[in-house]
Chains A and B, each alone.
Chain A
Amino acid sequence: MDKFTVHTGTAVPLRRSNVDTDQIIPAEYLKRITRHGFEDGLFSAWRKDPEFVLNQPRYDGATILVAGPDFGTGSSREHAVWALQDYGFAVVVSSRFADIFRGNSGKGGLLTAQVPQDEVERIWAAIEADPTAEVTVDLDRRQIRVGDLVADFDVDDYVRWRLMEGLDDIGITLKHESDITAFEESRPAYKPTTTAVN
Chain B
Amino acid sequence: MGRTLAEKVWADHVVRHAEGEPDLLYIDLHLVHEVTSPQAFDGLRAAGRPVRRPDLTLATEDHNVPTQNIALPIADPISRAQVDALRTNCADFGVPVYSLGNIEQGIVHVVGPQLGLTQPGMTVVCGDSHTSTHGAFGALAFGIGTSEVEHVLATQTLPLKPFKTMAITVEGELPVGVSAKDITLAVIAKIGTGGGQGYVLEYRGSAIRALSMEGRMTLCNMSIEAGARAGMVAPDETTFEYLKGRPHAPEGAHWDAAVAYWRTLPTDAEATFDAEVVIDASTLSPFVTWGTNPGQGLPLTASVPSPEDARDEVDRVAIERALEYMALTPGMPLREIAVDTVFVGSCTNGRIEDLRVVADVLRGRKVAASVRMLIVPGSVRVKMQAEDEGLHSVFTDSGAEWREAGCSMCLAMNPDKLAPGERSASTSNRNFEGRQGPGGRTHLVSPAVAAATAVAGRLAAPADLTPVA
Q: Are A194 and B247 in touch, CB under 8 angstroms?
A: no
Q: Are B151 and A170 in touch, CB under 8 angstroms?
A: yes
Q: Are B151 and A169 in touch, CB under 8 angstroms?
A: yes
List the B residue with the shortest CB-CB distance to A169.
Answer: B151
List the A residue with the shortest CB-CB distance to B118.
Answer: A192
B302 at interface by CB-CB < 8 Å: no
Q: Interface residues of B toward A: which range? A: 35 or more
**Cα distance, A31 to B56, chains bound together (Å):** 28
Q: Are A194 and B155 in touch, CB under 8 angstroms?
A: no
Contact of A192 among B85, B96, B119 (CB under 8 A): B119
**Cα distance, A142 to B250, chains bound together (Å):** 56
B46 at interface by CB-CB < 8 Å: yes
Using known A-B contacts A35-B43, A78-B147, determine if residue A193 contacts B56 with beta carbons closer than 8 Å.
yes
Give the chain B neighbours of A190 by CB distance below 8 A.
250, 254-255, 257-258, 261
**Cα distance, A78 to B39, chains bound together (Å):** 11
B34-61 to A contact mask, C-beta < 8 Å, 1/0? 0000110011001101001011111000
Q: Are A169 and B147 in touch, CB under 8 angstroms?
A: yes
A77-120 to B contact mask, C-beta < 8 Å, 1/0? 01000000000000000000000000000010000000000000
List the A residue with the shortest CB-CB distance to B82.
Answer: A33
Give the chain B neighbours of A31 by CB distance below 8 A.
78
Q: Which B residues from 247 to 287 make CB contacts under 8 A with A?
A: 247-250, 254-255, 257-258, 261
Name the segment of A51-59, A127-135, A176-184 touching the other chain: A176-184
A6 at interface by CB-CB < 8 Å: no
Q: Are A33 and B81 in touch, CB under 8 angstroms?
A: yes
**Cα distance, A193 to B39, chains bound together (Å):** 24
List the A residue with the shortest CB-CB distance to B158.
Answer: A173
A36 at interface by CB-CB < 8 Å: yes
B154 at interface by CB-CB < 8 Å: yes
A149 at interface by CB-CB < 8 Å: no
Q: Are B16 and A33 in touch, CB under 8 angstroms?
A: no
Give the chain B neighbours of A34 by CB distance below 8 A.
38-39, 42
Contact of B159 among A169, A179, A183, A195 (CB under 8 A): A169
Some 8 contacts from A to B, beta carbons below 8 A apart, are A33-B85, A179-B16, A179-B24, A187-B26, A188-B261, A191-B122, A192-B119, A193-B56
- In the complex, given contacts A191-B28, A192-B248, A193-B55, what are 14 additional A-B residue pairs having Cβ atoms less than 8 angstroms apart? A35-B43, A78-B147, A173-B24, A173-B154, A174-B154, A176-B15, A176-B16, A179-B16, A179-B24, A180-B24, A180-B156, A187-B26, A190-B257, A192-B119
Task: List residues of A whose CB falls within 8 A of some B CB.
Answer: 1, 31, 33-36, 78, 107, 168-170, 173-174, 176-177, 179-180, 183-184, 187-198
Task: List residues of B whose CB falls within 8 A of some A CB.
Answer: 15-16, 24, 26, 28-29, 38-39, 42-43, 46-47, 49, 52, 54-58, 78, 81-82, 85, 96, 116-117, 119, 122, 146-147, 150-151, 154-157, 159, 247-250, 254-255, 257-258, 261
